[in-house]
């Protein structure tokens, strides 16, 4: 039996990659998406619930209300933006949730499906609602643009040879768990400054500013927030 020529394998692989692409809102960039959205959402909800069981929610009612208020404002802006651009289907299975965790870490992240966590340690840097909206808009933008999904897909492709997620979970559970942690910032000391590619950060900045402006916050405060964040990072790495 003749073996299949290498160039045929390569062609099939390229067709597979092209078929496994989605489009980022606003920029229209094609991105790798090997993992079905339903699978990512299911994993997200499980991981989020597990995280909340293992971490203490803030007892500061005023700060908690602020996090939920800003979160819902950004949520409404995201839903309106996506509806205006005929992309509401991308959010149809979202179950938005906004929680403030008691921690000194300067951290924030958003999992697929609108599962957001803000760490209390970042609030002195955000200073007020508008500053928090910068963080929330940026992190939610990463989720809406499916940057974590893209990074997870890239990781599966590189580290497991493109195994389906279900297969990777069964045969390489620790590798898969680490890929998830890296893709969505769990365990990172500064989640809002995760080492996403510059392309991802630019997309999240652009979308995040749009979302916060639509939610009624002044996007110009982002400049001062990022200056404060940069100063905090320089102190952390001294």
- 20-57 confidence digits (pLDDT tens): 456 666 666 776 666 677 777 888 898 899 999 999 99
Note the pLDDT of residue 158: 59
CA–CA distances in Å: residue 236 to residues 110, 189, 231: 23, 10, 9
- Regarding predicted confidence, which is higher, 37 or 97? 97
- The residue that leads in pLDDT, 199 or 213, is 213
Residue with the bigger pLDDT between 33 and 66: it is 66
> How does the average pLDDT of the chain come out, rounded?
79
User: Which of 200, 181, 33 is closest to 109 using CA atoms?
Assistant: 181
Q: What is the pLDDT of residue 145?
A: 86
Q: Positive or negative CA dihedral for 43, 136, 84, 148? A: negative
Cα 44 to Cα 50, 101, 202, 213: the distances in Å are 10, 17, 24, 27
- 10 pLDDT more than 70: no
pTM score of the predicted model: 0.77
Residue 17 has pLDDT above 50, yes or no: no
Kindly state the average pLDDT of the residues 142-153.
80
- Residue numbers annotated as active site: 139
Residue 146: its pLDDT value, please? Answer: 83
More confident residue, 211 or 24: 211
Per-residue confidence (pLDDT) for residue 47, from 0 to 100: 87
Q: What is the pLDDT of residue 115?
A: 96
Predicted pLDDT of residue 34: 60
Give the pLDDT mean for 216-235.
91
Residue 14 confidence (pLDDT) = 35
Higher pLDDT, 231 or 151: 231
Confidence of residue 96 (pLDDT cuts 50, 70, 90): very high
Instruction: Reply yes or no on whether the pLDDT at 135 is more than 50.
Output: yes
Q: Which residue has the higher pLDDT, 179 or 94?
A: 94
pLDDT band (50, 70, 90) for residue 110:
very high
């Amino acid at each position: 039996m003749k073996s299949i020529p290498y160039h045929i394998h390569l062609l099939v692989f390229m067709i597979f990659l092209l078929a496994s692409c989605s489009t980022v809102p606003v920029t229209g960039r094609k991105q790798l998406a090997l993992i079905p959205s339903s699978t990512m959402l299911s994993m997200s909800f499980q991981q989020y619930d597990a995280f909340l069981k293992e971490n203490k929610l803030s007892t500061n009612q005023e700060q908690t209300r602020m996090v939920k208020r800003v979160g819902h404002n950004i949520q409404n802006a995201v839903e309106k933006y996506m509806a205006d651009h005929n992309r509401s289907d991308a959010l149809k299975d979202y179950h938005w949730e906004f929680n403030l965790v008691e921690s000194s870490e300067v951290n924030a992240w958003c999992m697929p499906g609108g599962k957001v966590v803000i760490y209390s340690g970042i609030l002195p840097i955000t200073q007020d609602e508008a500053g928090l909206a910068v963080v929330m808009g940026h992190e939610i933008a990463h989720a809406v643009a499916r940057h974590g999904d893209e990074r997870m897909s890239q990781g599966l492709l590189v580290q497991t040879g493109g195994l389906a997620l279900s297969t990777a979970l069964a045969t390489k559970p620790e590798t898969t768990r680490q890929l998830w942690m890296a893709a969505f910032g769990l365990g990172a000391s500064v989640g809002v400054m995760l080492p996403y590619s510059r392309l991802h950060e630019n997309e999240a900045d652009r979308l995040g500013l749009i979302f916060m402006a639509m939610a009624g916050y002044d996007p110009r405060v982002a400049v001062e927030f990022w200056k404060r964040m940069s100063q905090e990072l320089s102190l952390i790495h001294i």
